[in-house]
Structure 1
Amino acid sequence: MRRQSESLLLLPLLPIFLAGMFPMLLIGLLGFLGLALFGMLLICAGLACGNEAHDTFQHDVVVHGYARGPERAAQASSMHEATRLALQVEAMGLVLIIAAVIGFLYAR
């Protein structure tokens, strides 16, 4: 019986590696500027997520009209949860930018 290669076990991890390669190269090649740029990208992603949550809620209101109490509460709760997540992503982007500025000033 022929034995399979262990490298096939790493094949499912390839997409994770490819997705994580860009930020690591960005930080490695650009240094603190790359870290700040990655923070800006996180802030932009957080803003887009928050806008999408509001857009979905407003689309439901415009297309379907005002829903009954429990359904409207569920939609509003979903929107608030998405905006809280967006704010957390924006905060992490801001933390990365602050860390890049502090690192740049400290390394000088």
Structure 2
Amino acid sequence: MRRQAETPLLLALLPIFFVGIFPMLLLAFLGFAGLILLGILLICAGLADGLDANRDYNQQVIVHGYASRSERGVQASNLHSAVRFAAIIDVIGAGLIVAGLFGVFYVK
């Protein structure tokens, strides 16, 4: 049997490794305080995403002016889905902060 090269598999998994190394190092070096920091970063990302969605919606309304009923529906739907996703990210960040605080104060 001929042996297959692992290089394509390694190259495919390399981006996943680079994305995952930051949280793992953060948790390894800082422990539960790193979990709190990661939660704060997630909340900041969620708030920025929600603000970007509102900015895009306002820009569409101001720049393009009056739109047809279907276009307004699409724009509103895009805004609501982006804000909903940002709210989910905020809740996950708050959960990480609570878990980190629990770990800092109750786990010995």
TM-score, normalising length from structure 2? 0.93
One-letter identity of the residue aligned with 1:22: F
Identity %: 52
Note the alpha carbon deviations across 1:27-63, whole angstroms, 9 max, x for none.
Answer: 1110011000000000000001000100000000111
Specify the code of the residue in structure 1 equivalent to 2:59.
H
Return the alpha-carbon distance in structure 2 between the equivalents of residues 68 and 49 of structure 1: 26
Give distance in 1, aligned partners of 2:91 and 2:12.
31
Aligned to 2:39: 39
What's the RMSD between the two structures over aligned residues?
1.3
Q: CA deviation at 1:107?
A: 1.6
Structure 2 residue aligned with 1:48: 48
Matched, 1:100 2:87: no
Give the aligned partner of residue 77 of structure 1.
77
In structure 1, stretches of 5+ residues that fail to align are none
**Which amino acid counterpart does residue 37 of structure 2 have in structure 1?**
L
